[in-house]
Amino acid sequence: MSIVKYLPFTPSGSVTAPPSKSDVHRAIICAALSKGVSTISPVALSNDIKATIGCIEALGAKTHIENNVLTVDGTELFSNKTATLDCGESGSTLRFFIPVAAVGGVNASFIGSGRLPQRPIGIFTDLLPNFGVNCETEGGLPLKISGKLQSGTFKIPGNVSSQFITGLLFALPLLENDSDIVLTSPIESVGYINMTIYTMSKFGVEIETTDFGWHIKGNQSYKPCNYTTDGDWSQAAFFMVSGAINGSITVNGVNRDSAQGDRKITELISQFGAEVLQTDTSVTVKSGKMHAITIDASQIPDLVPVLAVCAGFADGTTRIINAQRLRIKESDRLKTTANLINNLGGNVTELSDGLEITGVKKLSGGSADGCNDHRIVMSAAVCAAGLDGEIECSDALSINKSYPEFFNDYNSIGGRANVLDIR
């Protein structure tokens, strides 16, 4: 059992954003599918990225990492026609690899840990049998697939998870004939799909956007390349919000023109009242007089916990709406975010699809349940920028899922995180 104690702090100085986990996932898969040798840098070995590397190796690819440079040799991808793919706790890894394994005709068994076995995969188990893929499951993981993916028109909702669409986008260009993805509901988290299309283009594969989804030409092939990853806007947001609450912080290594939808954090904290100065590769945030706003979270679900913390220090009542998908993440993030802030002396009301947060001047501190959810543990750290007391948060090492260096980077800007590993 791991516990972290957070003490009050005033953010100052600068920090460099880690490599984007979302970008690295996509680059690794494209590199493996290129059937040659590619390099990806920089790469940080979070648990989710380790899961994706493990899955391409299970399918026959080879990898080597040195000095944050990952080399991927996809020459023998799909040479293993029977494979077990351990996705750890990574929803991205699972949903990306189901179509990828299917396009290779692999008899694949998917397993996972934490909350992943309960997270939804029904879109694929309902859809893929219509396109040559047999699916065996009792409703979640383990999942077994067999057969080979066939081209066609894939009708899919856009409001459950963009990861299902990304998985299909990776696989369908490798089929002999053209395919279409047709949305049956409005798309959410479209930034993640745009990121997928951008990364695929760097590896030589093109996707055509249509009025109702995407057209995917068949008979394409991925080409090896040397890929440079983006800094992670989702992780940078924790430091930016810290600066908005109290003090001043500069985050380097964030690309203003990134395809990541979470770059919207700068616009939102500016609306809250923080002072934001942005260059092509950095953002400086200084605290200001904060006031409540309304946030539509449909395109930026990963930002909700830390935005709720920001709202916790803003005058008035902030509404976060269209965030119902957060109930099926590593935790029920609407419930766990509300509990986090309320347990520390804040004022949050949980809605069916979002949160209402009434600001306070200071949080009093107390105990926080990390819920084995990296974003809850890191959001608790941000609370300490407006704290009068201390926070004791469980499941500290859940940060390894996405950002193993978080506590080091947090302490480098004045944070006071003390991690205790209690057996």
Tokens 């990861």 -> residue: 163
- 375's tokens: 């974003």
Tokens 């092939």 -> residue: 221
Tokens 């996705």 -> residue: 87
Can 302 be counted among the known catalytic residues?
yes
Tell me the residue type at 314: A
Strand 2-7 vs strand 62-66: parallel, antiparallel, or unpaired?
A: unpaired
Q: Which of 302, 373, 395, 409 is catalytic?
A: 302
Is 199 in contact with 229 (CB distance < 8 Å)? no
Please give the DSSP secondary-structure letter assigned to residue 9: -
* Distance, first Cα to last Cα, the chain: 6
What's the CA gap between 391 and 218, in Å, rounded? 54
- 157's tokens: 């909702």
What's the CA gap between 106 and 78, in Å, rounded? 7
Is 116 in contact with 90 (CB distance < 8 Å)? yes
Contact partners, residue 9, CB within 8 Å, separation at least 6: 384, 385, 414, 415, 416
What's the CA gap between 258 and 279, in Å, rounded? 13
Burial (Cβ within 10 Å: 0-12, 13-18, ≥19) of residue 375: buried
- 136's tokens: 């065996």
Active-site amino acid positions: 302
